[in-house]
Chains A and B, each alone.
Chain A
Amino acid sequence: MAAPSTARSGAGLPAELTEATRDDTALRRFLHGLPGVDQVGVEQRASGLGTRSIKKAAKLWAIDTAINMVDLTTLEGADTEGKVRALCAKARRPDPERPDTPQVATVCVYPDLAEVAVDALAGSGIGVASVATAFPAGRANRAVKLADTELAVSAGASEVDMVIDRGAFLTGQYMRVFEEIQAVKAACGSAHLKVILETGELATYDNVRRASWLALLAGGDFIKTSTGKVSPAATLPVTHVMLQAVRDWYTATGELRGVKPAGGIRVTKDAIRYLVTVHEVAGPQWLTGELFRFGASSLLNDLVLQRRTQLDGYYSGPDYVTVD
């Protein structure tokens, strides 16, 4: 599933959204005019949805769907070409003993290793996502961030994961963040842009909602919770708020945008909770790798183990999957 195609309506944005991005004041007025998030309500609903029991055939479907949504990630300082190639082999065939296991969506790497991943995945239909813009801190000059993005795209990355400037966002310089996302989007060309909000640093759900809308207004194809380097990373309530944003965006504009929780999702049970949330908050049409992704490394192993348990009727163990 390379470069997911996001449905675009040719009609352009509704007037109030165009108006919102006219200047700094208008943008601020729009973002602060968004309805506040009921913290207790959203946390309660998120934990309520987390208790749904998904069994048997539905569980197997959920596992296959989740595997298909994984952005198999390695973002370590110690990454090597060998490790990326190994990960790509795993992306092609998550469970070699069961060739019917679906492939993952993309492999997510640092930009200097994007070329290796592109080579290793050639012809597989699996995309390569590259982080860019001085990931994970995002503390660099705009020229550096844009160069970073251009290098990733020229290396063949089909998706770019950028980080927003949280410092600027938190000090209220919304237009600066907006322009930066737009500039990176332009630098991406045909590659899809995922905008990392790093919700663990945004402090409130209201900020998450504002950042989500800001990223959607600026043209991000996906909004992504976190880099995975900051704790807390993805949580269900945060994903809930972001899913509401893409759903509302769809209602307002007719455009489908995606959400990607990343970091801290390690087991199948968590993944299924997210799928339930996607179904209930955004809607069933988001239950596809084109509009929902998991940024994860160890999740895939657990999904594969659970898949085997479902098919074989007994529990498998970590000795039977690869150590990444």
Chain B
Amino acid sequence: MTDRIAVAKTYKLYLGGAFPRSESGRTYEVTDARGKFLANAAQASRKDVRDAVAAARKAFPGWSGATAYNRGQVLYRVAEMLQGRREQFVAEVAASEGLPAKRAQSTVDTAIDRWVWYAGWTDKIATVLGSTNPVAGPYFCFTVPEPTGVVGVLAPQQSALLGLVSVLAPVLAGGNTAVVLASQDRPLPAVTLSEVLATSDLPGGVANILTGRTGELAPWLATHADVNALDLCGSPESQRADLERGAANTVKRVLPAPAGEPEWTNPPDIRRLRGYLEAKTVWHPMGT
């Protein structure tokens, strides 16, 4: 079998735990950092966004209701699968971002470590952000963080894997479900990540990853009334004000976009986790 024909991969969306093509049937060309053709990726439409939000909403009660310990185990499992696909990620990151092999390797390693870091936070975040509050009355008053709900994530445009992991993992670790628009010009690592998610105990619909034109899809995500929070990280600069206005109509929590692409290799902190958690305070009457 010397002249065997390689099996080319069809890059699809990840929606509700399945891998459909875009309902519109559209695809777009993805090139590497030098402009050489890499693959055709699915170009999601507004209806794919709508379906993804519906899938995320459906998955929310199960995922947010799972114990923090269980969520941590599932996310560790994702890290294990990431590790197993390391070589594939290195190749894709190198091609997409135009990095030399060494840099690509360290980027992928950092991404895997980042995922593990957030997985570890699932059962600790409540202790750090929650509190028992001293109040002047016969009440036991305590505050616990609860997930915000369905989070729309516009993934960073430059860092296709590390950046994506850095914005997606905190959403999932807090118990939210996510609809992610992957980097428009560098979507392939995101598609591979979705294959990792699909094979790692993460319930279908908890993370939904769409590829396509960010500028076309972002307004639908921002205005969708069933999305509870929005990360504008990878939004086109010209659209940001409009997206924030659209999100404000339905009182979404919005994580504003950073001025430039952040340096994702910097050590993370819990700011992103806190961004998608709501404080619930309970006043419990104490017995007399």
- By a beta-carbon cutoff of 8 Å, the part of chain A in contact with chain B is 313-320
CB-defined contacts of B50 to chain A, threshold 8 Å:
315
Q: B38 near A: Cβ within 8 Å?
A: no
CB-defined contacts of B142 to chain A, threshold 8 Å:
none
Determine if A318 and B57 form an interchain contact, defined as CB atoms under 8 angstroms apart. yes
Q: For chain B residues 184-232, which have a beta carbon within 8 Å of chain A? A: 220, 223-227
Determine if A314 and B226 form an interchain contact, defined as CB atoms under 8 angstroms apart. no
CB-defined contacts of A316 to chain B, threshold 8 Å:
225-226
Q: For chain B residues 159-180, which have a beta carbon within 8 Å of chain A? A: none
A-B contact count (CB 8 A): 28
Shortest distance from the beta carbon of B253 to any chain A beta carbon, whole Å: 14
Q: B151 near A: Cβ within 8 Å?
A: no
Whole-angstrom CA separation of A317 from B250 in the bound complex = 10
Shortest distance from the beta carbon of B250 to any chain A beta carbon, whole Å: 8
Q: For chain B residues 237-263, which have a beta carbon within 8 Å of chain A? A: 246, 249-250
For the residues of B in contact with A, the DSSP-based class is helix
Whole-angstrom CA separation of A316 from B225 in the bound complex = 5
Q: B41 near A: Cβ within 8 Å?
A: no
Whole-angstrom CA separation of A313 from B249 in the bound complex = 13
Say which residue of A313, A315, A319, A320 sits within 8 Å of B53 (CB atoms).
A315
Residue from the set B50, B224, B227 with the largest chain A CB neighbour count within 10 Å = B224
Shortest distance from the beta carbon of A113 to any chain B beta carbon, whole Å: 30
In the complex, 11 of the A-B residue pairs with CB atoms within 8 angstroms, ordered by the A residue number, are A313-B223, A314-B225, A314-B249, A315-B50, A315-B220, A315-B226, A317-B57, A317-B224, A317-B227, A318-B57, A319-B226
Whole-angstrom CA separation of A314 from B217 in the bound complex = 12
What are the 4 A-B residue pairs with the smallest beta carbon separation, nearest first? Answer: A317-B226, A314-B223, A317-B225, A315-B224
Whole-angstrom CA separation of A319 from B53 in the bound complex = 13
Q: Which residue of A lies closest to B224 (CB)?
A: A315
Determine if B57 and A314 form an interchain contact, defined as CB atoms under 8 angstroms apart. no
Shortest distance from the beta carbon of A156 to any chain B beta carbon, whole Å: 38
Besides A314-B220, A314-B249, A318-B226, 12 other CB < 8 A contacts? A313-B223, A314-B225, A315-B220, A315-B224, A315-B225, A317-B53, A317-B57, A317-B226, A317-B250, A318-B57, A319-B225, A320-B225
CB-defined contacts of A317 to chain B, threshold 8 Å:
53, 57, 224-227, 250
Shortest distance from the beta carbon of A54 to any chain B beta carbon, whole Å: 14
Residue from the set A316, A317, A318 with the largest chain B CB neighbour count within 10 Å = A317
Whole-angstrom CA separation of A313 from B225 in the bound complex = 11
CB-defined contacts of A314 to chain B, threshold 8 Å:
220, 223-225, 246, 249
Whole-angstrom CA separation of A320 from B249 in the bound complex = 13
CB-defined contacts of A313 to chain B, threshold 8 Å:
223
Q: Which residue of A lies closest to B250 (CB)?
A: A317
CB-defined contacts of A315 to chain B, threshold 8 Å:
50, 53, 220, 223-226
